[in-house]
Amino acid sequence: MSRANKKTSQKLTLSKKQNISGWFFLMPATFLIAIMSFIPMFRALILSFKTGVGNNLKWAGVFNYQRLGQDTVFIQALKNNFIYLLIQVPIMLLLALVLASMLNNKHLRFKGLFRTAIFLPCATSLVSYAIIFRSLFAVDGFVNLILIKLGFLEVGYNFLAHPNSARMVIILALIWRWTGYNMVFYLAGLQNIEYSVYEAAMIDGASPIKTFFKITVPLLKPTILLTAIMSTNGTLQLFDESVNLTNGGPANATITMSHYIYNLSFKYVPNFGYAAAMSYLILILVAVLAFVQMKVGDKRD
């Protein structure tokens, strides 16, 4: 065998060894993901075509999926999720982007303090911050106290007892908690943009608003797309705020799809087949919206 053939054989052998060792390290994680995620997902798909209680499950075909279109509570939950998505997500992402741009200024003092303060709500317990917002917007809460002092109200308004105001409270709570989380992503993206670009824009006489829309937004497009997909995913699976802040009320006016799935599975008479069908509808919605956002937002050739 020639020297060249020996070297090729050794390289192939080394390549095979590297592939084997790579798979060796990946196998434990692959096994756990399959056991913990993919197998339950497959079993949930099978379950979504069955109906019944407990072990008395019978094959029902697409009955559970047909039932979704006639379920008024589910339709209300679907509407609520999209209301939160269409109002809260754009406001939150725009606010996070503006705050990141302001805190990226190298001449700003106490940047670390401001960044920490804005991010801190994200580290707050979901239950704790829901209780805080319930207290703030209670009839005798701080918000009503301020509105009465300013003369906007004569008596306290029960925000959580009216559908529109209860949804507004949830939207405000989501913006308060998750704006700092998205701001961190934008700050990380801004670190990769040379500050000389902004200095050149200032020398050319560009205003801060023009700089924001002509430099910051285009250069952060991949990060904005990422946060939009993550926020969409999180909003369509919204659970804690509906449960802890309004308990889905008043009269299911603020209930979300995940909250309704929980009620169907653990609060009412268990109907796991119908709950599984609803879960797969959420999966389809998340996948479709993520695909649309990728197609619209990613213009790379």
Cβ atoms of residues 254 and 170 within 8 Å: yes
Are 78 and 119 part of one and the same domain?
A: yes
Is the peptide bond between 250 and the residue preceding it cis, with omega within 30 degrees of 0? yes
Are 100 and 14 part of one and the same domain?
A: no
Are 34 and 146 part of one and the same domain?
A: no
Q: Which of 244, 277, 280, 227 is nearest to 94 (CA)?
A: 227
Are 42 and 86 part of one and the same domain?
A: no
Q: Which domain, by its residues, includes 289?
A: 66-297
In a domain, 22, yes or no: yes
Are 76 and 35 part of one and the same domain?
A: no
How many residues would you count in the chain? 301
Are 117 and 11 part of one and the same domain?
A: no
DSSP string, 16-57: HHHHHHHHHHHHHHHHHHIIIIIHHHHHHHHHTTEEEETTEE
Are 26 and 84 part of one and the same domain?
A: no
Are 141 and 271 part of one and the same domain?
A: yes
In a domain, 83, yes or no: yes
Render the burial of 156-180: b for 16+ CB within 10 Å, e for the rest.
Answer: bbebbeebeebbebbbbbbbbbbbb
Q: Work out the end-to-end distance of the chain between its first and last CA atoms, rounded to an integer number of angstroms.
A: 46
Are 139 and 12 part of one and the same domain?
A: no
In a domain, 56, yes or no: no
In a domain, 225, yes or no: yes
In a domain, 54, yes or no: no
In a domain, 58, yes or no: no
Q: Which of 185, 234, 226 is nearest to 84 (CA)?
A: 234
Are 41 and 72 part of one and the same domain?
A: no
In a domain, 249, yes or no: yes
Q: How many domains, the chain?
A: 2
Are 71 and 17 part of one and the same domain?
A: no
Strand partners, 56: 53
Are 91 and 138 part of one and the same domain?
A: yes
CATH at residue 275: 1.10.3720.10
- Model-level pTM? 0.85
Distance between CA 118 and CA 184 in Å, rounded? 9
Q: pLDDT tens digits for the chain (301 residues)?
A: 555 555 555 555 777 777 788 888 888 888 888 888 888 888 888 989 988 776 678 888 889 999 998 999 999 999 999 999 999 999 999 999 999 988 887 778 888 888 889 998 888 888 888 889 999 999 999 999 999 999 998 899 999 999 999 999 999 999 999 999 999 999 988 888 887 888 888 888 888 888 888 888 888 888 998 899 999 999 999 998 899 999 998 889 999 999 999 998 888 878 889 999 999 999 899 889 888 888 876 665 4
